Structure 1
């Protein structure tokens, strides 16, 4: 069997309902010859209450796909499991709730040829929907500023690609992390001289989180990744930073391109989420509870 050029790796944790949209978007990829890519979906809760159904039952698949179990908790452990069985020369990571643009993989493949030995990151476009809630407005205004991330030396795994050999040489993601493993991986790579490159033409779309519950869960998960993982000094700095109101972040909202009503909404929601973060900080550091998984 001819090996594919690209292996698309997608971790899923109790969210199989979103996979059909992703599969349809991958089936609609343009500018690629047949067999260019394979799909590896990693079920990160294979023994849970709702194991994923066979991929072929969700959508017609004009590409090779496999469903892989990974009981080790965390999306980074799942991504490592997918990379371990990948046959492609390059790995492309995205999330189950993302919707890749039709030219996503073609643009990423071209960029991988142009920048061998680099880690590539493409745009993650937040879609607020036709009648956005305040929570969706906040998520859209905050966004996932991938270009800014790349300037700081990292990229979000919602849209990240690199050579399979480079991933293996770097030791993969830190499987113990439940959040922030993408930034840690890219910065670890940067310390060895691996460059980051931004690929503006390789975009994926992501629906904005439309509920308070979804945003609070994300806030707790990120805070756990910041203060419960990594070197002690970095954890201390994140702890101290967490105690300061997010004024700089809200200032960035006010300088952004969105309508003023959206900016005001985003600032109000951000302050509410800061309260959630402080409560999570106390839960982690005082009560010694484990970090949020998802």
Structure 2
């Protein structure tokens, strides 16, 4: 659905759009931090919260919005549709997207405004880093700090001059460029995951640039990775979303040795043939699993040699298998068996690393 302004009287300033479902206390903390950041902003700033929580939580969100001067609107379940709705309701010509489990630094909005106002016209967006909060971490969130699959590009704006696509936990965009590319997708089969990558690729595809500002900082709360259940749910969803990205951006689809697919085929092969050999063939399953686990664990060590680092890396590798399971589920959902051994190739932003980060 095209994203169009509800009014032609768009004024200079910045509108922060926050998609929400649940997370009452986290959202309250974000709104409090944005209220403080707005005071330091050199231009008018507003916050629009788009929520699809149930009735008790929705009422709490409305109260938080009243307390901190934000606008509240009920919205759809799809996070892309929420962001698009917030953009349509925005009063200003700059848009800023921040996730509800983040907190804004006092200078966040002023940094985004100054970066976009001072940039050439081809710079349509500015990405800031989302630094993982150190307080309140559990053993699981500490372990999953090693996972690129979960943390992805969150800290890349610290090290890059620009990016092909950036996460929407901390992204400011010129409104005219946002509308020109149609905003975020609303037709993806999963309410969360992949919509920020798709948006970034379409923005870049139109000749726009997403610059990075290491001073425009938000802090990403650890609660989204504080339990095994939360980690598995997120990774499953990301795996399913990757298969949608493979279909939408076919040029970035590549062969990937999905461990879950490999183990499934190994198990099926062990069951075939004469019964007398099935027991020996079944030994291939744990052998293959061990090789695959080792191959995934080694990069997660990051060169560390301690027993704790090894244990954390093995645990992280095991949990990351839920991403592979999600990819298999996605292939089945799309009725595309060819996706069982396919993955999405993320853009290579290495050419845009800052000089002081290059070895």
The two structures have a TM-score, normalised by structure 1, of 0.82
Select the residue among 19, 22, 28 that pairs with 1:14. Answer: 22
Select the residue among 123, 127, 133 that pairs with 2:138. Answer: 133
Distance 1:251 1:156, change over 3 A: farther
Give, in whole Å, the separation in 1 of the partners of 2:143 and 2:27: 25
Q: Which has the larger radius of gyration?
A: 2
Give, in whole Å, the separation in 2 of the partners of 1:236 and 1:183: 12
| Alignment match, 2:186 | 175
Select the residue among 150, 155, 170 that pairs with 1:145. Answer: 155
Cα deviation code 1:27-74 (max 9, x no counterpart): 2225225x72111000134xx4545126562276464x2111112x32
TM superposition outliers: structure 1 runs of 4+ over 6 Å: 246-249
Give, in whole Å, the separation in 2 of the partners of 1:6 and 1:161: 9
1:184 equivalent to 2:198? Answer yes
Cα deviation code 1:93-145 (max 9, x no counterpart): 00111011111111111111112442110010001325x33311133333423
Question: What is the number of equivalent residue pairs in this alignment?
Answer: 282
1:23 equivalent to 2:28? Answer no
* Alpha carbons 2:10, 2:91 under 8 Å: kept: no
Distance 1:202 1:213, change over 3 A: same
Choose between structure 1 and 2: higher helix proportion.
2
| Alignment match, 1:79 | 83
Give, in whole Å, the separation in 2 of the partners of 1:15 and 1:166: 30
Distance 1:60 1:66, change over 3 A: closer
1:96 equivalent to 2:100? Answer yes
After TM superposition, the structure 1 = structure 2 runs for residues 155-234 of structure 1, keeping only pairs within 5 Å, are 155-177=166-188, 178-208=192-222, 209-231=225-247, 234=250
| Worse-superposed segment, 235-244 or 82-91 | 235-244
Report the CA distance between 1:23 and its aligned residue. Answer: 1.3
Give, in whole Å, the separation in 2 of the partners of 1:189 and 1:252: 32
Report the CA distance between 1:205 and its aligned residue. Answer: 0.1
Report the CA distance between 1:188 and its aligned residue. Answer: 1.0
For structure 2, the 5+ residue unaligned runs are 1-8, 263-291, 336-359
* Alpha carbons 1:42, 1:79 under 8 Å: kept: yes
| Cα-Cα RMSD | 3.2
Give, in whole Å, the separation in 2 of the partners of 1:160 and 1:77: 16
Give, in whole Å, the separation in 1 of the partners of 2:243 and 2:296: 19
Secondary structure class of the residue paired with 2:207: coil
Give, in whole Å, the separation in 1 of the partners of 2:293 and 2:165: 21
Give, in whole Å, the separation in 2 of the partners of 1:193 and 1:235: 18
Select the residue among 161, 165, 170 that pairs with 1:154. Answer: 165
* Alpha carbons 1:228, 1:235 under 8 Å: kept: no
* Alpha carbons 2:239, 2:327 under 8 Å: kept: yes
For structure 1, the 5+ residue unaligned runs are 290-294
| Worse-superposed segment, 205-214 or 50-59 | 50-59
Distance 1:4 1:192, change over 3 A: closer
| Worse-superposed segment, 174-183 or 88-97 | 174-183
Distance 1:105 1:232, change over 3 A: closer
